[in-house]
């Protein structure tokens, strides 16, 4: 599914079924009218999360709107068909709104140039992580964070940032389904089956 159609569908939720491609042009400019700006920001957030989920991308940086060509976000942030691109100032504004709405967190913390996108909530990631460990027969063994984010067979956690793994593991640890372990080269984790409480 091309991104243009992603954006099209993002913009065309009920009740307007088919917007003209020209309607996408103003979406690439900050709107001085607060209601219009809010409506556009909402469509962008929807599109960014849908695209990140579709491609398995975790991080969105403001510089993704600044680099010229070749970036993994180009398909969304640039639209050569209508000769428009999302500017970094507008992206920064959208990112700020996403953080306020808990759809993203600054990653790493204490800066505002990059975010971890929550196209799944930490609680959902915890379930996916435990399911992955169970399916791949890695219960009760010690796994390093590196092994989880760089698995031999690509998984949902390929390339996942450590902070995401930590929050998911913390949730599992509360239910007795994982244990954080300090090992020589950084931290690791051991998963337990559901029945072991």
Q: Is 16 in the site for other proteins (CB under 8 A)?
A: yes
The angle formed by the CA atoms of residues 110, 115 and 121, to the nearest 5 degrees, is: 110
Residue closer to other proteins, measured from CB, 21 or 140: 21
Residues near other proteins (CB under 8 A), total: 25
Q: Which of 1, 2, 14, 153 binds other proteins (CB under 8 A)?
A: 14
Residue 138 CB contacts under 8 Å (≥ 6 apart), including other chains: 191
Q: Is 80 in the site for other proteins (CB under 8 A)?
A: no
Binding flags for other proteins, 25-54, as an x/- string (CB under 8 A): xx-xxxxxx-xx-xx---------------
Q: Residue 27 class from Cβ within 10 Å (0-12 exposed, 13-18 middle, 19+ buried)?
A: buried
Residue closer to other proteins, measured from CB, 21 or 196: 21
Stretch that binds other proteins, among 21-29, 125-133, 147-155, 166-174 (CB under 8 A): 21-29
Strands 78-79 and 59-61, bridge-based pairing: unpaired
Q: Which of 2, 5, 10, 18 binds other proteins (CB under 8 A)?
A: 18
Q: Which of 46, 61, 84, 120 binds other proteins (CB under 8 A)?
A: 84
Residue closer to other proteins, measured from CB, 22 or 182: 22
CB of 81 to other proteins, least distance (A): 13
CB of 46 to other proteins, least distance (A): 14
Q: Report the distance separating Cα 161 and Cα 169, nearest Å.
A: 13
Q: Which of 4, 9, 19, 127 binds other proteins (CB under 8 A)?
A: 19
Residue closer to other proteins, measured from CB, 1 or 16: 16
Give the residues lining the site for other proteins (CB under 8 A).
14-23, 25-26, 28-33, 35-36, 38-39, 83-85
């Amino acid at each position: 599914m091309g991104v243009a159609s992603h954006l099209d569908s993002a913009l065309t939720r009920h009740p307007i079924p088919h917007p003209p491609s020209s309607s996408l042009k103003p979406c690439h400019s900050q709107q001085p009218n607060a209601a219009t700006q809010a409506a556009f920001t909402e469509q962008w957030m929807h599109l960014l999360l849908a695209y990140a989920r579709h491609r398995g991308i975790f991080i969105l940086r403001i510089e993704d709107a600044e680099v010229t060509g070749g970036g993994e976000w180009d398909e969304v942030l640039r639209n050569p068909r209508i000769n428009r691109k999302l500017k970094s100032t507008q992206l920064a504004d959208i990112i700020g709104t996403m953080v306020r709405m808990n759809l993203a967190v600054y990653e790493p913390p204490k800066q505002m140039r990059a975010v971890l996108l929550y196209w799944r909530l930490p609680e959902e990631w915890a379930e996916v992580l435990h399911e992955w460990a169970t399916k791949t027969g890695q219960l009760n063994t010690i796994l390093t964070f590196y092994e989880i984010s760089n698995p031999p067979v690509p998984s949902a956690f390929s390339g996942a940032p450590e902070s995401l793994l930590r929050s998911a593991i913390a949730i599992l640890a509360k239910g007795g389904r994982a244990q954080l372990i300090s090992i020589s080269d950084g931290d690791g984790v051991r998963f337990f089956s559901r029945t072991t409480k």
